[in-house]
Structure 1
Amino acid sequence: MKDKKVALVTGGTSGLGRSIVLEYANAGYVVGFCGRRKQEGEETLSLLQKQGGNGLFFKCDVTQSEAVRNFVEIIIEQYGHIDVAVNNAGISGVLKTTAEYPLDIFDSVMDVNLKGTFLSMQFELKQFLKQGHGGVIINVSSALGLRGKEKAGPYSMSKHGIIGLTKSAALEYGANGIRVIALCPGGIQTEMDDVFYANVPNPEEVKKERMKSYALGRMATPEEVAKTCVWLSGDGAAFITGAVIPVDGGKTAR
């Protein structure tokens, strides 16, 4: 097992994170992933194993430094090294104008999206430096890290911050062979999105109007975004670092 490539994924228990875990497993990686929800984590691990993959799930709150340290350490104990880290853990908050945004939810968005990414990077980078043969970090930002949106200010703010952190770390550690990249997905077809459409008047009309903002006329599947992560981890992307990669069907081209 120790001669296989190892991927670390935060927020890997559901949605995009689950697809990222499964795609790395499909590509032959051993995958260590974490999340706050034990049941969904165990479900993801079961799916990984059913498709013939190997990996582990660790219950972890990325806003807690000691929890992140323990997560990285258990992967090293089990597999000996890390080749790729995908920092996907994040929350969306609520839709409120800036003046009306609840401070407790603002704090939660900043803690998970920004502090969680920062803490994860600290331990990942230290491990890469200890290993001495480079590595790849992919931070999952958002198309809203590249633009604004009404009633989503704190979320957009946190995702802009991830891009700044990514670029800075890429400059700091490039000489060590460590690549750091920000991935910016647009809308993704998930169960959460289906729930949204089920609770609005005229869902088909709303969906049709929304699709007009995408040059490709549709949102991404989680698998499409996950496959981009895997490609960015490989030799074909060996000269990409400090980059911001939209995977948004042309939405931010407007």
Structure 2
Amino acid sequence: MVARRDLMMGAAAAAAAATTTVVNAQEAEAKDVSLGLDPYATPWDPQDPEIPGRMNIARVPDDYFMPGRFAGKTVIVTGSARGMGEVAARRLAREGANVVGVDILEKLGASVIEQIRAEGGKATFVGGDVSEDKVCEEMVRVCVKEFGQLDGAINNAGVMDALHPDEPIDYVNQKNRLMARITEAGDEYFDRVMKVNVWGVFYSLRHELRQMLKQGTGGSIVNIASVTGIRGFGGTAPYTASKHAVQALTKSAAIDYAPFGIRVNSTGMGTTLTPMYERAIEIIKQRRAAGYKDTGIALYKSKSLLEFSDQKNKGSTAAEQVAVMLFLLSPESSNITGSTYNTDGGFTIF
């Protein structure tokens, strides 16, 4: 009798789940939500006379999302005020996640969270610098207080120089805090980049993993690295060193916490059109204008396969990067841990 009762209860639950699926599908259809994407590529216009048949890769739309993928999950996103972190926070909320945004740009970061709430999403904000252990401890505390648990995290916050993220660039008067070769690099520049990019990821992981272990329900973490963590890169030694360290932290965490159902991966992005990239380009322009010269070898190879193939030589978009982050964060990537996905348009393969 007990077995039969359990069987009937299981059948009833399955029927209810099927009904819910149908209802959700109908609601999605009613809202004109489509998971379809554009063709893989579109022809150059006008065509390249030297290479007939050239194509542009069709980009992931900036507003694309997968309804319900993170329903009931709670995710921390560091560096959520702009760039990839902002796009990740917004898309996670649209996919059903409770989002905890964290950023040193407190006013801007809070406004992003307010906009997510205005759209009907569930989100809260923690202001602060992830290079401080107490901030990372606080973001997890707030996460659990507001939403009851922590299921995933995107450790995205990072810097390329020692300036505050919204500090105007003045190369002549800021040399000691900006990108430079080792023989010209200032201590403040090296210290700040390492502190945010390495200690910030370490502190974030430490508190995120402690909470996941306490819960005993597993989890998924994605650390944001760079192509500079995969290969060498000139003129920015601390950034390159820091992203190599992020890869190492990712692998170590994956090994230590796989037995507890926690997966840890990273992405190695190439040129991505974000405010950080724009600031880096401005620094290079001002440096050249100031008469700075080097060997030129650092930028000898500057384009990825997909940048070269694009008619406008455009780098990747934040939406393209976030699409891979969220795949790695989701249960869809259940067989992936300790991995670095080279989201670099093919930059590192040749």
Same fold by TM (over 0.5)?
Answer: yes
For residues 154 and 199 of structure 1, the distance between their equivalents in structure 2, rounded to whole angstroms, comes to 17
Counterparts of residues 27-176 of structure 1 (less than 5 Å): 27-93=95-161, 94-176=178-260
The CA deviation at 1:86 is: 0.8
Gap runs ≥5 in structure 1: 202-208
Question: Which of 311, 314, 328 in structure 2 is aligned with 1:232?
Answer: 328
Question: Which of 160, 181, 186 in structure 1 is aligned with 2:270?
Answer: 186
Compute the RMSD of aligned alpha carbons.
Answer: 2.0
For residues 182 and 105 of structure 1, the distance between their equivalents in structure 2, rounded to whole angstroms, comes to 24
The CA deviation at 1:191 is: 3.9
User: Once the two structures are aligned, what percentage of the paired residues are identical?
Assistant: 32
Moved over 6 A (4+): 209-212
For residues 51 and 115 of structure 1, the distance between their equivalents in structure 2, rounded to whole angstroms, comes to 34
Q: Does 1:213 align with 2:213?
A: no
Instruction: For 1:253, give the aligned amino acid.
Output: I
Q: Does 1:26 align with 2:26?
A: no
Q: Is the 8 A contact 2:229 2:268 kept in 1?
A: yes
For residues 129 and 141 of structure 2, the distance between their equivalents in structure 1, rounded to whole angstroms, comes to 15
Q: Is the 8 A contact 1:23 1:223 kept in 2?
A: no
Distance 1:212 1:123, change over 3 A: closer
Corresponding residue number in structure 1 for 2:261:
177
The CA deviation at 1:49 is: 2.3
Corresponding residue number in structure 2 for 1:206:
none
Instruction: For 2:139, give the aligned amino acid.
Output: F
Q: Is the 8 A contact 2:179 2:189 kept in 1?
A: no
Between Structure 1 and Structure 2, whose CA radius of gyration is higher? 2
SS at match of 2:124: strand
Instruction: For 2:97, give the aligned amino acid.
Output: Y
With normalisation by structure 2, the TM-score equals: 0.66
Corresponding residue number in structure 2 for 1:249:
345
With normalisation by structure 1, the TM-score equals: 0.90
Q: Is the 8 A contact 2:229 2:242 kept in 1?
A: yes
Instruction: For 1:246, give the aligned amino acid.
Output: N
Instruction: For 1:189, give the aligned amino acid.
Output: L
For residues 108 and 221 of structure 1, the distance between their equivalents in structure 2, rounded to whole angstroms, comes to 26
Instruction: For 2:303, give the aligned amino acid.
Output: S
For residues 117 and 48 of structure 1, the distance between their equivalents in structure 2, rounded to whole angstroms, comes to 25
Gap runs ≥5 in structure 2: 1-70, 162-177, 287-298, 308-313
Distance 1:103 1:130, change over 3 A: same
Greater RCO, 1 or 2 (C-alpha within 8 Å, sep 6+)? 1
Q: Does 1:10 align with 2:94?
A: no
Render the CA deviation track for 1:130-188: whole Å, top value 9, x for unaligned: 01011011110111101121111110000000101110110001010100001111111
Q: Is the deviation greater in 41-50 or in 236-245? A: 41-50
Question: Number of residues paired by the alignment?
Answer: 245
